[in-house]
Structure formats: structure tokens, C-alpha cells
């Protein structure tokens, strides 16, 4: 039997009003968040987006710079409006999504009398038959059944706010129906869709970049975090177990996994040693680092970009929230489904919308040559699970060298103490590098060990 768990939404008059008049579309000055776990964002502007993000949005979504800035601003506003309406609509709330080049917001409700409230808030109202609580209750029942016994040939299921149904992707209709029967859910609330997806955790093929586990496999850093005075980073649980040691991109000793959950969830965090300083940055892979200002979650349809150590920087859109996906190792719940491509080794890496951290790469299907579908573990539940604080709002250039920097003596024209301008080229260890950010070189920041400052050419 399906279970339905109603959200405990704040319905007081003070929180029921959606106030977004101060959030200008062209230059957003603040973002409200309904999620108490979200990290508050300082004032941000769509005009402050990094060139790398604008380039990737143009490449992957076909947006020019002006259209990209406008869309991001609209998406910030949509997130604030959706959060306020979710509170005020209460149990009748049936989900939110953005669509179209201008990211127009649609908010669904089961109560036709609430349509005017939605319209007054600046969104398009849609009256549907099923509340989000009801559909998530169905999905929760499916999740529980999958934990008891992983479904065969059923890789993915999620709440689809656009169709107002739970969607089960299966290799065949018969496989999907068998899953529904075993779980005991109402099939009228579910759409079974045939799918050839074969998702898997992206660290299953070993490589070299970002960080290395126990001297062998490779994954990608998600976001810098702290826990009290301890520095570290968030990443995917399938990348390592508690006690797994890591080396950084420079092959220097880095840290140890302190918490890890997989399957069920795909979350982990690594505590780093004193040689590693956390920065509120996401690697743009040659397009400039992206500053992390907070962790306000985006809605369905919003653009999102991913940074990973195998394929670099790619963008797409959020397709569904709170998705469940079955890998060969077991079922993962609570992930977000996206159209962003990824490949093995990208696991654990960052998903970010504008300046807002969204999550860490879990797995997916396809690749960045032919396209694919990927899933990320939302960052706020990860932070909450381990009592972590997201590192936010900082500069793009290191200010302190490592306490025990490596010896920089492989030969070449690069030299510590030299001021380099962006675009300058040097040689180091037999290779040529181009400077990405103006800085004065210091020991430990050599071109081979500082990818945020230098790109090999």
C-alpha cells in the first residue's frame, strides 16, 4: 500500500506571502530559500557569472551571453517564488518547474481556488489531480520495496511534476509492472516507460585526475566543506568507504574518508590534512573558476553545469528532483536527474547553477560524445547528514602556499616569485603552459600542480 507523508509547511501569515518584488529580473539582488539546510547566499548578480559558465551555456544550451544571463536571473527568481508558494499552498502544492528560453515558472496545485494566488506571485498556474505529497508517497513506497529487493531491469523512477505522475523507467513494460505489483502501489498514479538506460557509478573505470583513492581509483572533488576546524570536501559515497585514503591531483597525500553511504544514498566527505586549503570555487576547466555563493536548490527545468575530472565542464537542465536509480550495486534514492553528460572519473564532482551549489555527481548513462543522462546527490542533505558547512564566497586565486610545498625543480622557464599575466606562457617539466589568472608565482604553485592557474597547451 502506498504511503503519503504530508510536509510540515509553515502556514503562518508571515511566511505565506510570496515577496519577490525586490528581486529584479535583470540583476537579482538576493534569493530567498525555503530550505533551512541551504546556505544563505549573499547578494548576487546575473551579470557576475563567470565567462566559463556563459561559454558552456552557449555551447550546451544554445544561449548567447545575454540570453544566459537573463535565464539565470529568471531561474533565481523562480526558485524564490516556488519556495514561497510551496509554503503557502500547503498540501495542495503539486510541484514547480521552469520551461522555455526565458525560464517561465509553472506551479501546480490540486486546488483550483489557489490558481489566483499562483498567478499573483508571477507564475503560471496549473490545476492537477495529484499533490506532490501523494506522488512522493508512491515513490517512497517504491523506494522501500527496492531496499528489500532491488528491482530487475528497472533502472530509474522519479516524480515527474510535468506529467503529474510517478514515472518508472524499465527495460520492458512487464518489468515495470512487476515492480509496481511487488511494491503494491496504485498503477493509476504511475507511468511505466521503456528505457535502454544502464546507469552505473562513474568511478568503476579507473583513471587519473582530481583525487585518487588508496593509490588506485579516481574520482572528483565536489565542494569544499568544513566541520568545526576540520577542512575537507564533499564527494560521492561510491568513491570510497570510511578509512579510504586519498591523494590529490598533484599525487600528494590529501586526506581520509570520514563518512560514506552507498547504496541507499551516494554521499561522502573527506577530511584533508593541513596542506590543503578549502576554496569556494568550482574548476571551470580553462574557462575560469566559478565562485560558490550558497546552496539554494534550483527547480525542475533550471539550467545546471557540472565540473568533473574526466570531461571537464558541461551544462544541461534539471529534469526531475527526488529520483531513485538502481545501479548494479543497489538502489540510490533522493538524487536529481539531469541532461548533463558525464563519464567515469567525473563521480563526486560539482553541480552548480549560477553561483549556487546543487550537488555531487553520482552516476548515469551515455557519455559526452553521444549525450547521456546523469544523477547528482543534492548537496544540502549531504551537508546535513554529516554536520558539514559549505565553504562559500572567496577569491579565485590562492593566497597561501601549501605548508610543505613540493620541490619545484624539473626545469623550464617558470620561476617562483615571478609575476605572470593572464595569457603568458611558460615551460615546466618539458611541457608548455598558459597562465589562466594573473598572479605572482610561489613555491608549490607550479604549472603541473596548480590547474586553477595554468593550462597545459
Number of H helices, E strands in the chain: 7, 28
pLDDT of residue 411: 65
Give the pLDDT band of residue 452 (cuts 50, 70, 90).
low
Over residues 83-89, the mean pLDDT reads: 94
Grid coordinates representing 419 are: 609575476
Candidate ranges 29-33, 227-231, 337-341, 388-392; pick with highest mean pLDDT: 337-341
pLDDT of residue 407: 42
**Burial class of residue 429, CB neighbours in 10 A (0-12, 13-18, 19+):** middle
Over residues 163-170, the mean pLDDT reads: 96
Rounded Cα–Cα distance for residues 391 and 181 (Å): 45
pLDDT of residue 289: 80
pLDDT of residue 291: 85
The answer, yes or no, to whether residue 92 has pLDDT greater than 90, is yes
Give the pLDDT band of residue 85 (cuts 50, 70, 90).
very high
Give the pLDDT band of residue 451 (cuts 50, 70, 90).
low
pLDDT of residue 155: 93
Give the pLDDT band of residue 420 (cuts 50, 70, 90).
confident
Lowest mean pLDDT segment, chosen from 2-6, 153-157, 185-189, 452-456: 2-6
Lowest mean pLDDT segment, chosen from 133-147, 312-326, 382-396: 382-396
pLDDT of residue 446: 73
pLDDT of residue 48: 65
Rounded Cα–Cα distance for residues 252 and 255 (Å): 10
Above pLDDT 70, what percent of the chain?
80
Give the pLDDT band of residue 41 (cuts 50, 70, 90).
very low
pLDDT in tens, 195-214: 988 886 543 222 224 799 98
CATH topology of domain 13-127: GMP Synthetase; Chain A, domain 3 (3.30.300)
The answer, yes or no, to whether residue 380 has pLDDT greater than 80, is yes
Over residues 425-441, the mean pLDDT reads: 78
232 phi/psi in degrees, rounded to 5: 180, -160
Give the pLDDT band of residue 444 (cuts 50, 70, 90).
low
pLDDT in tens, 346-376: 999 999 999 899 999 999 999 999 888 999 9
Give the pLDDT band of residue 338 (cuts 50, 70, 90).
very high
pLDDT of residue 69: 87
Q: Do domains 13-127 and 132-194 have the same CATH topology?
A: yes
pLDDT in tens, 102-134: 899 999 999 999 999 999 999 999 999 999 999
Over residues 409-421, the mean pLDDT reads: 75
Alpha helices in 203-347 (DSSP H): none
Lowest mean pLDDT segment, chosen from 123-127, 274-278, 329-333: 274-278
pLDDT of residue 22: 27
The answer, yes or no, to whether residue 443 has pLDDT greater than 70, is no
Q: Which helix (H) or strand (E) holds 115?
A: helix 115-120
The answer, yes or no, to whether residue 418 has pLDDT greater than 90, is no
Give the pLDDT band of residue 267 (cuts 50, 70, 90).
very high
In this predicted model, which residue has the larger pLDDT, 72 or 446? 72
DSSP assignment letter at 403: S
Homologous superfamily (CATH) of 399-457 is Carbohydrate-binding module superfamily 5/12 (2.10.10.20)
Q: What is the DSSP string of 390-419?
A: E--S--SS--S--SSPPP--S-SS--TT-E
Give the active site residues. 238, 266, 347
pLDDT of residue 217: 86
Report residue 405 CA to chain centroid gap.
Answer: 32
Give the pLDDT band of residue 423 (cuts 50, 70, 90).
confident
Candidate ranges 146-150, 297-301, 391-395, 407-411; pick with highest mean pLDDT: 297-301
Domain ranges of the chain: 13-127, 132-194, 399-457
**Average pLDDT across the chain, whole number:** 81
Over residues 410-422, the mean pLDDT reads: 78
Q: Are 254 and 273 in contact (CB under 8 A)?
A: yes
Q: Are 356 and 298 in contact (CB under 8 A)?
A: yes
Lowest mean pLDDT segment, chosen from 24-38, 157-171, 201-215: 24-38
CATH topology of domain 132-194: GMP Synthetase; Chain A, domain 3 (3.30.300)
Rounded Cα–Cα distance for residues 202 and 207 (Å): 11
- Give CA torsion, residues 435, 440, 446, 450, to 10 deg: -60
Amino acid at each position: 500500500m502506498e504511503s503519503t507523508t504530508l510536509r510540515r509547511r509553515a502556514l503562518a501569515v508571515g511566511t505565506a506571502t510570496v515577496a519577490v518584488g525586490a528581486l529584479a529580473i535583470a540583476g537579482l539582488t538576493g534569493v530567498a530559500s525555503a530550505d533551512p539546510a541551504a546556505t544563505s547566499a549573499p547578494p548576487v548578480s546575473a551579470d557576475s557569472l563567470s565567462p566559463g559558465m556563459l561559454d558552456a551555456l552557449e555551447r550546451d544550451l544554445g544561449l548567447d551571453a545575454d540570453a544566459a544571463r537573463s535565464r539565470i536571473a529568471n531561474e533565481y527568481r523562480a526558485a524564490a517564488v516556488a519556495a514561497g508558494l510551496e509554503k503557502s499552498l500547503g498540501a495542495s502544492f503539486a510541484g514547480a518547474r521552469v520551461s522555455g528560453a526565458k525560464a517561465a515558472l509553472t506551479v501546480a496545485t490540486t486546488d483550483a481556488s489557489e490558481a489566483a494566488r499562483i498567478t499573483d506571485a508571477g507564475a503560471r498556474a496549473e490545476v492537477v489531480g495529484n499533490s506532490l505529497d501523494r506522488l512522493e508517497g508512491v515513490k517512497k513506497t517504491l523506494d522501500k520495496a527496492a531496499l528489500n529487493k532491488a528491482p530487475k531491469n528497472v533502472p530509474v523512477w522519479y516524480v515527474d511534476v510535468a506529467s503529474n505522475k510517478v514515472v518508472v523507467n524499465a527495460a520492458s513494460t512487464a518489468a515495470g509492472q512487476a515492480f509496481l505489483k511487488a511494491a503494491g502501489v496504485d498503477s493509476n498514479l504511475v507511468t511505466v516507460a521503456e528505457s535502454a538506460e544502464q546507469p552505473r557509478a562513474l568511478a568503476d573505470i579507473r583513471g587519473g585526475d582530481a583525487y585518487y583513492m588508496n593509490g588506485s581509483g579516481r574520482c572528483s572533488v565536489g565542494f569544499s566543506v568544513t566541520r568545526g576546524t576540520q577542512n575537507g570536501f564533499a564527494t560521492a559515497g561510491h568513491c570510497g568507504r570510511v578509512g579510504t585514503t586519498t591523494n590529490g591531483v598533484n599525487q600528494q597525500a590529501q586526506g581520509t574518508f570520514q563518512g560514506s553511504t552507498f547504496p541507499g544514498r551516494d554521499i561522502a566527505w573527506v577530511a584533508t590534512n593541513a596542506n590543503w586549503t578549502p576554496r569556494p570555487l568550482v574548476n571551470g576547466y580553462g574557462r575560469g573558476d566559478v565562485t560558490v555563493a550558497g546552496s539554494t536548490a534550483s527547480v525542475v527545468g533550471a539550467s545546471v553545469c557540472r565540473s568533473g575530472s574526466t570531461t571537464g565542464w558541461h551544462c544541461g537542465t534539471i529534469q526531475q528532483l527526488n529520483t531513485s536509480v538502481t545501479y548494479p550495486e543497489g538502489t540510490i534514492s533522493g538524487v536529481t536527474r539531469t541532461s548533463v553528460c558525464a563519464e567515469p572519473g567525473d563521480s563526486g564532482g560539482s553541480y552548480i547553477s549560477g553561483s549556487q551549489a546543487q550537488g555531487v555527481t553520482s552516476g548515469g548513462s551515455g557519455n559526452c560524445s553521444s549525450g547521456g543522462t546523469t544523477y547528482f546527490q543534492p548537496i544540502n542533505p549531504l551537508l546535513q547528514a554529516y554536520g558539514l558547512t559549505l565553504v562559500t564566497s572567496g577569491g579565485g586565486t590562492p593566497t597561501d602556499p601549501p605548508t610543505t610545498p613540493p620541490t619545484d625543480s624539473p626545469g623550464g622557464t617558470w620561476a617562483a616569485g615571478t609575476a605572470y599575466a593572464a595569457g603568458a606562457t611558460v615551460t615546466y617539466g618539458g611541457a608548455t603552459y598558459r597562465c589562466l589568472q594573473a598572479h605572482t608565482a610561489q613555491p608549490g604553485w607550479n604549472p603541473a600542480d596548480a590547474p586553477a592557474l595554468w593550462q597545459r597547451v
